[in-house]
Amino acid sequence: MLKNIPNFLTMGNLILGMLALVYTLEGRYHTAISLVFIAMLLDGLDGKLASRLKAGSDLGKQLDSLADLVSFGVTPAVLLYSMFMQQFAPGGVLLALLFPLAGAYRLARFNLCKERGMVFHGLPITIAGGALVSLGFYQDILLGWPIISLTLLLAVLMVSRIPYPALKGSHHDVSIPVFILFYGAVVTFIILLLSWREAIFCLLFLYVATGPLYSLYRLIGRRWRRRERRFAELP
- pLDDT tens string 186-218: 666 766 676 778 888 888 888 898 888 878 877
For 41, 164, 201, the CA distances from 191, given in Å and listed in that order, are 17, 21, 11
Confidence check: pLDDT of 174 > 50:
no
96: Cβ contacts below 8 Å, ≥ 6 apart: 77, 78, 80, 81, 85
The answer to whether 166 touches 120, Cβ cutoff 8 Å, is: yes
Residues 6+ apart with CB under 8 A from 4: 55
Most confident of 57-61, 153-157, 227-231: 153-157
**Per-residue confidence (pLDDT) for residue 27, from 0 to 100:** 92
Q: Could you tell me which CATH number the domain at 2-169 has?
A: 1.20.120.1760
The model's pLDDT over 85-107, given as tens digits with 9 standing for 90+, comes to 887 777 888 989 999 999 999 99
Predicted pLDDT of residue 235: 58
In degrees and rounded to multiples of 5, residue 53 shows phi and psi of -85, 0
* Whether 6 contacts 55, CB under 8 Å: yes
pLDDT band for 116, please (50, 70, 90 cuts).
Answer: low
Instruction: State yes or no: pLDDT of 173 exceeds 60.
Output: no
What pLDDT, on a 0 to 100 scale, did the predictor assign at position 190?
67
Q: What is the pLDDT of residues 10-60, one digit of tens each?
A: 999 999 999 999 999 999 999 999 999 999 999 988 877 777 777 667 787
Q: Is the pLDDT of residue 182 over 70?
A: no
**35 close to 71: Cβ distance less than 8 angstroms:** no
Instruction: For residues 54 and 199, give the distance between their C-alpha atoms in angstroms, rounded to a whole number.
Output: 34
Q: How many CA atoms lie within 13 A of 175 on its CB side?
A: 16
For residues 178 and 119, what is the distance between their CA atoms, to the nearest angstrom?
Answer: 14
pLDDT-derived band of residue 129, with 50, 70 and 90 as boundaries?
A: very high
The torsion region of residue 146 among left (phi > 0), alpha (psi -120 to 50) and beta comes to alpha
Burial class of residue 212 in the structure, from the number of CB atoms within 10 Å of its CB (0-12 exposed, 13-18 middle, 19+ buried): middle
CA distance 147 to 153: 10
Query: Which has the higher per-residue pLDDT, 145 or 177?
Result: 145
